[in-house]
Amino acid sequence: MHFVKIFPLLALVVINLAGTATVEAATGMNPPMKLVWHYYKVTNSCDDAETYIRHQVEKFYKSDNSIAPKLLRLLYSDCMVNGCDASVLLQGPNSERTAPQNRGLGGFVIIDKIKQVLESRCPGVVSCADILNLATRDAVHMAGAPSYPVFTGRRDGGRLNADAVDLPSPSILVDESLAYFKSKGLDVLDMTTLLGAHSMGKTHCSHIVNRLYNFKSTGKPDPSMNTTLVSQLRYLCPPRTQKGQTDPLVYLNPDSGSSNRFSNSYYSRVLSHNAVLGVDQELLNNDDSKEITQEFASGFEDFRKSFALAMSRMGSINVLTGTAGEIRRDCKVTNANYGA
């Protein structure tokens, strides 16, 4: 058994991995730990900030459950590029959110609405970075994920250009994916767990057509993909032969579909070669990620507990605290451009 030490409020998470291979498991938060549990209440700066955020997320979720995968992707796209500083929320020509890897990002309207509510109650206090982390936690909890602790006290960063976005292709090999996660201070358990976010949401056909028609220039589909799934996705995703043709969206996990439920069915699909994205199917090509995939497929609670740890670790990447950065008045613009 591998005991995975988690943050104080969740005590110990036990992940029982089948077989005898040793998995390099996460052992806690990314040092140094600068964030605070219930920061706004502890500092008496906006006691009910988390309640306000949860209320707004509940309102949005009732009318559109797709906000859970949208916010998950938005948070990932923020934290994994330059740290959790809400830079992806900034608008403008050649801004981070305009990068090709960020095409189709959603959830901005929700964050902007929550910010407006908080500015009316606690002006200039709650950062956009904290709002994004807390709102994502609340939305995925409504979808079936654990309501994990989110430490707060982040501050907002400045603008990044689109060419600074280094998010990897959804078709990369597992070793390349692991190298990327390790470059962000995360490990194989984090990677395998966070990819489980693909248990819900959608992706563009352009991200999978190579697997359907011309895998590695063979003129054939990816041999690791179940042939029935190939047929189903070919029906939804025609070959891309014309410039400017439409790029339909397909479910990352057809088992979840429009319900957008957080579940471990993603891992079962990987094991049965029914993963939609290449990077997901690649989990079977690494001994550690394969072993974790097998465990999560058979144990939903193990996945839930590991998800809580991985999300908290990702949420602590390169955070700005203290006097670094700023507290934006509007998540779309830096304070220097506020009202301009």
φ/ψ of residue 139, rounded to 5: -65, -45
Kindly give the pairing relationship between strand 36-37 and strand 151-152: antiparallel
Q: Catalytic residue among 54, 73, 211, 313, which?
A: 73
What residues pair up with 151 in beta bridges, in sequence order? 37
Give the closest residue to 147 by CA, choosing from 68, 252, 257. 68
| Percent of the chain that is helix, strand, coil (3-state, to 5) | 50, 10, 40
d(CA 175, CA 279): 10
Amino acid at 33: M
A 10 A CB-CB count for 100 gives 8
Q: Which two tokens stand for residue 91?
A: 């608008």
d(CA 146, CA 165): 29
Helix axes 67-82, 128-142, angle to 10 degrees: 140
Q: What is the dihedral of CA 283, 287, 292, 294, to 10 degrees?
A: 80
Which ranges of the chain does DSSP label H, i.e. alpha helix?
Answer: 39-42, 49-63, 67-82, 108-121, 128-142, 174-183, 188-194, 209-213, 227-236, 265-271, 278-281, 287-298, 300-314
- Distances 187 to 15, 71, 151, 267, 269 between C-alpha atoms, Å: 15, 22, 20, 18, 22
d(CA 165, CA 101): 8
Judge whether 159 counts as a catalytic residue. no
Contact yes or no for 140/71 (Cβ under 8 A): yes
Residues acting as catalytic residues: 73
